[in-house]
Structure 1
């Protein structure tokens, strides 16, 4: 009976802070009274001119949640702005559409969602998820004003399982301003970016028409530690930079780009990794894969197909190409071009790109510093129409080209030197979605050199000791392929993540078992899918009472010293409540 009372108490504590609101007055009152553990649910319908500024300090186990009662049935229209400050705030389930009455001030329009409140107090550990922004644009007369849909401030924030469709005008979809040098640890994942059209339909027109910008020139030499992964960019045209990296130690992986113009650009900052991404440019003009500027980058396991480096009208561009490694400017200012140094370009696959790998490009005459200590190794290139490998400026230092293979493409390398080779056939075969290695390919076991960071291939399969050239390891049985439209609303984008109840405010399914419940001495934790990993246990007040890391799929935790009560156990992928008697 005692244990049932604990559960009953837990039920009332949880639901005491849950409130359903049906109009703006009720919403503002609920926000004024919000605290850790508060959930505010919005009833179905159209909400007009919603202005929210909230600052609440939630906890990991008791966040403050603002959500649609039924995701996809709550529509914010007109002039809407959401500003969140404090910590552990979650916004989810809302559709933004039919903007009107947006106000320009000094050439800027207020963002739709901002990770700081109206007093400029930033948010930490806040999460925007399962949101859809659908053609929420300013008027045609405001196209040249900067309108950023989401601006990021603070640390350890996330944007996930959202759809961003039909962005027009100047301004990023997601912009991390990074006004300070404090690391962000931002995560942007499982989102859908689609159907952007540049101002005046001119891809060479205005800057700041990217999907993502991580950082700014002024703080670009500091580390952000942002991760951008498992996103899908489809039918995208804005400017040369789809993603604009302007900070250090960021990672871009498992993203898919289809039917686009532009590149993933490491514009400023150092020590970034770009790996396991798929690029399908579909021969669109002014398209590329990855553009490299700065130091200590690693570019590996990427698949790049159908790049056309030319601008609309046919003139060549020195900012595009499959993988474009730029020259630098002597004495470069923060907003100019730092020299490429100590960068490794390895195990990428490039197919049907007019220019595949380009070394030492110059967008203006001031860029005279050649890449230094550059490694280009174990890349494979198929059927490049202009050049599989183009060396415009010879790199300096201990630079090396080795183990690269091309089929039916001219290049500036010497066959037979450093295991670089040209083959006549059999390198790759077309698959259902992308070109794959085939039995007998010259790329199999052809990898040379040692690259400790290349432990898996683009599909998630393990690399062998005698590893293959290119992005795929033949026979490794990986399953992580590219995204297509069928994945939208299923594994990424709006609708892929079901709204969570107050009692289950963890974003992934429970895949963990704990017993016995109630417990008195030992609690058994097990999972059938993988290692348990990091474990945290919180009491009913949201206080962390135990933290451990488990490298097994079954373990026991001593709870004999825990006071009687209800507890929350969390791992990275799951959560469960249990009772100690």
Structure 2
């Protein structure tokens, strides 16, 4: 399936044939035998119970599903878990409680693999210059959905999109996962999700990361770290986390319709679109224009890249202090846009951009403090936000934000609900509509048991 999201063409979905036969096994040895002899379309189910592995369980055949008989009731501990043979395709791994040593890795030669409704609480050792993901996606067209990733205490990530070098895994679709409780105390290397690496930043991954819940993402200052190009991060919820949603390297990424509480968005690189996000917290720095040590990163640079031509538009930002600001560094934001945002809270200066940054300000509404923007780029007026039953501040009837946007943004076709942007779009993340139904994701919406 091909969809256009925030102006980017993204292909999603793993086509796996419906099972033609079901084989039930009651031991890991029998599971391996069944996998060795599986026919295309076969579903192999492991009976409920706790199992201890002494070696990897290898999936050698394409077109098969290996599953727990009942979701979450087959637990695998021990030395290793599932391993994919080179070149397999249309394989599903479903419903396991995985507590073993080592990661689950999809090799670069495999494709159209689905990893669904599992719990990952693995023992993955730290390896220098390695993401150390619980799940490593190196092949194309991989779907990772309705899983729980939890309770990591060492360096490494929960989900890493990698791939061959040179190159990167294409069209990963990660959705309805719960990323929970990463407590690594080091200064770097503990993201929940990393899409790419610094040496892949120019590669077009086209990952779609959507409808995931991030809680206690405390393993790194970056909970989501995008280090590649042409990805979409949308409709995720993040709360109780020190990590930010960060575009660390790469170009042309879209951050659309996310709900963030107590954290924020930071970006480097070129031509990104930061639109329709709802960011609320009791601190400053809801949106950070990252500046840094070079104007444009080379293909293998690890330095912070200056943001060029980044658009930050139609967001609702609620906080104290400098809600929008820029990092220090010699290379300041260039030719960026801050447009049609609602910025409220309490501040002596809502926008605190470093002198020398070149940003076009237009159509913003601020209330509760000094704008910190040039005159003509904003209005100081009460946007009349009201808190709905789900705790989100929305536009109310008669808000001056309704039909008040300026400029042309043809790729902003929906708001954060998402509902259509009609006629002249409203300022902020919310297009006024009394029938709005969006709410922050909860644990009931994600993970193995969610619909």
| TM-score normalised by the chain length of structure 2 | 0.88
Single out whichever of 458-467 and 48-57 deviates more from structure 2.
48-57
- Is 1:436 the equivalent of 2:363? no
The aligned counterpart of 1:33 is: 37
User: Cα distance, 1:171 vs. partner?
Assistant: 0.5
The aligned counterpart of 1:350 is: 317
Give unmatched runs, 5+ long, in structure 2. Answer: 1-18
Q: Tell me how far apart the structure 1 counterparts of residues 355 and 208 of structure 2 sit (CA, whole Å).
A: 32
The aligned counterpart of 1:196 is: 182
Q: Tell me how far apart the structure 2 counterparts of residues 354 and 94 of structure 1 sit (CA, whole Å).
A: 45
Q: Tell me how far apart the structure 1 counterparts of residues 242 and 58 of structure 2 sit (CA, whole Å).
A: 36
Could you say what secondary structure the match of 1:355 adopts?
coil
1:116-515 paired onto structure 2 within 5 Å: 116=107, 122-134=109-121, 136-137=122-123, 147-178=132-163, 179-182=165-168, 184-199=170-185, 205-281=186-262, 288-309=263-284, 321-330=285-294, 332-333=297-298, 334-359=301-326, 361-362=327-328, 367-385=329-347, 387-396=349-358, 399-415=359-375, 417-418=376-377, 420-423=378-381, 425-432=382-389, 433-475=391-433, 477-485=435-443, 487=444, 491-497=445-451
Q: Tell me how far apart the structure 2 counterparts of residues 493 and 240 of structure 1 sit (CA, whole Å).
A: 24
Q: Tell me how far apart the structure 2 counterparts of residues 391 and 435 of structure 1 sit (CA, whole Å).
A: 26
Q: Is the 8 A contact 2:137 2:169 kept in 1?
A: no
User: Cα distance, 1:386 vs. partner?
Assistant: 5.4
Q: Tell me how far apart the structure 2 counterparts of residues 426 and 496 of structure 1 sit (CA, whole Å).
A: 36
Q: Is the 8 A contact 2:344 2:366 kept in 1?
A: yes
1:453-475 CA-partner distances (Å, limit 9, x unpaired): 11111111211222211000112
User: Cα distance, 1:245 vs. partner?
Assistant: 0.2
Q: Tell me how far apart the structure 1 counterparts of residues 234 and 434 of structure 2 sit (CA, whole Å).
A: 19
Q: Is the 8 A contact 2:293 2:304 kept in 1?
A: yes
Could you say what secondary structure the match of 2:369 adopts?
coil
Q: Tell me how far apart the structure 1 counterparts of residues 294 and 135 of structure 2 sit (CA, whole Å).
A: 35
RMSD: 2.3
Could you say what secondary structure the match of 2:350 adopts?
strand
Could you say what secondary structure the match of 1:88 adopts?
strand
**Higher RCO (CA-CA < 8 Å; seq separation 6+):** 2
User: Cα distance, 1:222 vs. partner?
Assistant: 1.4
Q: Is the 8 A contact 1:462 1:476 kept in 2?
A: no
Single out whichever of 165-174 and 267-276 deviates more from structure 2.
165-174
Give unmatched runs, 5+ long, in structure 1. Answer: 1-12, 58-62, 103-109, 200-204, 282-287, 310-320, 498-581
The aligned counterpart of 1:502 is: none
Matched pairs, number:
425
User: Cα distance, 1:133 vs. partner?
Assistant: 1.9
Q: Tell me how far apart the structure 2 counterparts of residues 354 and 394 of structure 1 sit (CA, whole Å).
A: 21
- Is 1:56 the equivalent of 2:61? yes
Describe the shift of the 1:445–1:175 C-alpha distance in structure 2 as closer, same or farther (beyond 3 A).
Answer: same
Q: Is the 8 A contact 1:125 1:155 kept in 2?
A: yes
The aligned counterpart of 1:522 is: none
Q: Tell me how far apart the structure 2 counterparts of residues 173 and 80 of structure 1 sit (CA, whole Å).
A: 17
Q: Is the 8 A contact 2:286 2:319 kept in 1?
A: no
The aligned counterpart of 2:8 is: none
1:199-233 CA-partner distances (Å, limit 9, x unpaired): 3xxxxx33110000000111111100000000011
Describe the shift of the 1:467–1:165 C-alpha distance in structure 2 as closer, same or farther (beyond 3 A).
Answer: same
1:562-581 paired onto structure 2 within 5 Å: none
Q: Tell me how far apart the structure 1 counterparts of residues 124 and 158 of structure 2 sit (CA, whole Å).
A: 13
1:55-107 CA-partner distances (Å, limit 9, x unpaired): 323xxxxx21000111121011233332224111100010123x5xx4xxxxx
Q: Is the 8 A contact 1:460 1:479 kept in 2?
A: no
1:123-176 CA-partner distances (Å, limit 9, x unpaired): 200000010124x3469x99x997421111110001001111212211100011
Q: Is the 8 A contact 1:222 1:248 kept in 2?
A: yes
Could you say what secondary structure the match of 1:496 adopts?
coil
Could you say what secondary structure the match of 1:457 adopts?
coil
User: Cα distance, 1:183 vs. partner?
Assistant: 5.4
Q: In terms of Rg, which structure is larger?
A: 1
Q: Tell me how far apart the structure 2 counterparts of residues 325 and 226 of structure 1 sit (CA, whole Å).
A: 23
| TM-score normalised by the chain length of structure 1 | 0.69
Q: Tell me how far apart the structure 1 counterparts of residues 348 and 192 of structure 2 sit (CA, whole Å).
A: 29
Q: Tell me how far apart the structure 2 counterparts of residues 165 and 386 of structure 1 sit (CA, whole Å).
A: 39
Q: Tell me how far apart the structure 2 counterparts of residues 254 and 247 of structure 1 sit (CA, whole Å).
A: 20
User: Cα distance, 1:480 vs. partner?
Assistant: 2.7
User: Cα distance, 1:406 vs. partner?
Assistant: 0.9
User: Cα distance, 1:427 vs. partner?
Assistant: 3.1
